[in-house]
């Protein structure tokens, strides 16, 4: 079993080498004549108006937080799904209670408008 | 194999010999997966241009020949594109964080390739047969988001930053729908091992594939896969007419190409996963003589090609979604559907075997 994880580690390393090799190939073969106009950030031809480290919509935070919650829910569902045949009706009902609580939260955020993008 | 191992042992000594042998074989196997995959990525771009061209009643790339062979007109196009891309200047904008700017494309392609470690091409043909295969795949697909966020942030450009935020929010949203759809597959297969998931669909014909009992989940998974890879009609993140090219607007030359490769590698990965979870992986559609003679990996590749064709077809057919519509589809349509389906499937599984076997939803349990 550990042998298999060694292959995965090797694959990750080779994936890194493929990416890095491409970048190094580009760096070696491509021309490099920078000037200040070329290196300015692209803003449809205009000079950059302000810094890119700017305010952004709070909804991205909301999506990120909701993602963390629901991903945790999936993390709990995975082992439950794998052994559902063995744990029977009691296991099923226990998970339904858990899902029910999370669905109440989901309905709350839906009604609060956390999922609206307008 | 044995003799080569003995040769290694003789040459390097007992301890080092066997270690180096397993290292070498692993690297050979990995290259045997990664090199065809990268070639497949190159020719997927060609297939995309060709297929969309035929759908729009034109011919697509047909000039660059493959080593001058006349009936392979156009087949040299991906090679020509690659050569062109590698000869182009990589621009690192002023104000960009140089290290992260260079690292981001590498971080995107690394998980896109490494996820293939656990994909079984036939019952024996799998590099890493781990029990937590599906979890590993989910982890790898999540890793890709780091590349997106880092690229958008490191460019220090407004368009790139906004594109990265959009992309990342979209990808994580659809990953939830994907995860819930996969829970349904797990309930059917009772195993996280990808080989076991395919074996669970074994039967006399394609009626045993999870496609049939989990058809709504198949649709959710396929559409989420399109959205997850930022493909049309969900490609607002790189909507050319809205925010130019999203998180990779400031990338050029090979740095851009690596993002491009990663996107297409992810596309093939999603197609492979759809084939494995819902279309029976390496299994033939009907378990009778002429079909069973064809080796398993051919069936898997055919199914992958079939799903990829759908991806290209979607792109040629549908207009782009608006961002708020994308998020609404992910959160307000797919997540409730999958949650309800999990409950329904769980309820069906509580029924006694005799009732289950006549239940119209899954006569094949």
- Closest CB from A19, A77, A103 relative to B258: A19
Distance of alpha carbon B105 from alpha carbon B151, whole angstroms: 7
The more confident residue out of B1 and B156 is: B156
pTM of the model: 0.91
Beta bridge partners of B66: B69
pLDDT tens per residue across span B33-87: 999 999 999 999 999 999 999 999 999 888 888 877 778 888 889 999 888 888 8
pLDDT higher than 50, residue B365: no
DSSP string, A66-115: HHHHHHHHHHHHHHHHHTHHHHHHHHHHHHHHHHHHHHHHHHHHHHHTTT
pLDDT of B358 reads 58
Region B324-352: mean pLDDT is 88
Contact B323, A117 (CB under 8 A): yes
Instruction: Among B294-298, B311-315, B344-348, name the most confident range.
Output: B311-315
| pLDDT over 70 percentage in chain B | 94
A99 to chain B: which residues are within 8 Å by CB? 339, 342-343
CB contact under 8 A, B343 and A96: yes
pLDDT tens per residue across span A15-41: 999 999 988 988 898 888 888 777 777
Nearest Cα neighbor of A70 from A33, A42, A32, A101 is: A101
pLDDT of B267 reads 92
The token pair at B105 is: 């494309």
pLDDT of B300 reads 92
pLDDT higher than 70, residue A1: no
pLDDT higher than 90, residue B304: yes
The token pair at B222 is: 């396929």
Nearest Cα neighbor of B117 from B26, B190, B25, B22 is: B26
Where helices occur in chain B by DSSP H, the ranges are 2-12, 14-55, 77-86, 98-114, 133-154, 158-189, 194-199, 215-228, 240-243, 253-278, 289-293, 296-317, 323-328, 335-350, 353-356
Region B181-203: mean pLDDT is 88
Reported ipTM: 0.89
pLDDT of B350 reads 82
Question: What is chain B's mean pLDDT, rounded?
Answer: 85
Cα of A47 to nearest chain B Cα, Å: 11
Instruction: Among A88-97, B281-290, B322-331, B347-356, name the most confident range.
Output: A88-97
pLDDT tens per residue across span B93-145: 887 788 888 899 999 999 999 999 999 988 888 888 888 889 999 899 888 88
B108 to chain A: which residues are within 8 Å by CB? 19
Tell me the pLDDT band of A94, cut-offs 50, 70 and 90.
very high
pLDDT of B364 reads 45
Dihedral sign from CA coordinates of B205, B206, B212, B214: positive
pLDDT tens per residue across span B3-38: 777 777 777 777 787 788 888 888 999 999 999 999
CB contact under 8 A, B157 and A36: no
Contact B231, B260 (CB under 8 A): no
CB contact under 8 A, B88 and A95: no
CB contact under 8 A, A1 and B131: yes
A69 at the B interface (CB within 8 A)? no
Distance of alpha carbon B107 from alpha carbon B151, whole angstroms: 9
Cα of B255 to nearest chain A Cα, Å: 6
pLDDT tens per residue across span B205-226: 777 788 888 888 999 999 999 9
A54 to chain B: which residues are within 8 Å by CB? 158, 161
Q: Choose the weakest-confidence range: A50-54, B31-35, B242-246.
A: B242-246
């Amino acid at each position: 079993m550990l042998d298999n994880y060694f292959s995965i580690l090797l694959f990750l390393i080779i994936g890194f080498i493929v990416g890095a090799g491409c970048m190094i190939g580009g760096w070696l073969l491509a021309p490099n004549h920078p000037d200040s106009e070329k290196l300015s950030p692209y803003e449809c031809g205009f000079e950059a108006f302000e810094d890119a480290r700017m305010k952004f919509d709070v909804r991205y935070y909301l999506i990120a937080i909701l993602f963390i919650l629901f991903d945790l829910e999936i993390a709990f569902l995975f082992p439950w799904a794998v052994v559902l045949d063995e744990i029977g009706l009691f296991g099923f009902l226990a998970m339904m209670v858990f899902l029910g609580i999370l669905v109440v939260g989901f309905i709350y955020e839906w009604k609060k408008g956390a999922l609206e993008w307008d | 194999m044995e003799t080569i191992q003995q040769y290694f042992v003789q040459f390097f000594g007992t301890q080092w010999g066997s270690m180096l042998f397993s290292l070498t074989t692993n690297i050979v196997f990995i290259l045997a997966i990664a090199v065809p995959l990268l070639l497949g990525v190159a020719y997927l771009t060609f297939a995309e241009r060709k297929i969309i061209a035929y759908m729009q009643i034109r011919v697509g790339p047909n000039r660059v020949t493959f080593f001058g062979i006349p009936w392979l007109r156009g087949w040299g196009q991906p090679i020509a594109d690659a050569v062109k891309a590698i000869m182009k200047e990589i621009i690192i904008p002023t104000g960009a964080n140089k290290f992260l700017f260079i690292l981001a494309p590498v971080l995107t392609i690394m998980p896109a390739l490494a996820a293939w470690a656990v994909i079984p091409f036939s019952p024996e043909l799998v590099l890493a047969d781990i029990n937590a295969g599906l979890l590993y795949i989910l982890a790898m697909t999540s890793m890709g988001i780091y590349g997106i966020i880092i690229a958008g942030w490191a460019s220090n450009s407004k368009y790139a930053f906004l594109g990265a935020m959009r992309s990342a929010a979209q990808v994580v949203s659809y990953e939830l729908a994907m995860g819930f759809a996969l829970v349904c597959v797990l309930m059917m297969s009772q195993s996280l091992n990808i080989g076991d998931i395919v074996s669970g669909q074994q039967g006399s014909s394609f009626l045993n594939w999870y496609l049939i009992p989990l058809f709504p989940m198949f649709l959710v998974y396929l559409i989420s896969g399109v959205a997850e890879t930022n493909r049309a009609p969900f490609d607002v993140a790189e909507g050319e007419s809205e925010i130019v090219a999203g998180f990779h607007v400031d990338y050029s030359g090979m740095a851009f190409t690596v993002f491009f490769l990663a996107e297409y590698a992810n596309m093939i990965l999603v197609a492979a996963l759809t084939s494995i979870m819902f279309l029976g992986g390496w299994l033939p559609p009907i378990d009778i003589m002429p079909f069973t003679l064809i080796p398993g990996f051919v069936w898997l590749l055919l199914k992958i090609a079939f799903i990829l064709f759908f991806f290209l077809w979607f792109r040629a057919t549908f207009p782009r979604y608006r961002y708020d519509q994308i998020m609404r589809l992910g959160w307000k349509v797919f997540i409730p559907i999958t949650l309800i389906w999990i409950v329904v499937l769980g309820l069906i599984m509580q029924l006694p075997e005799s009732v289950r076997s006549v239940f119209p939803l899954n006569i094949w349990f």
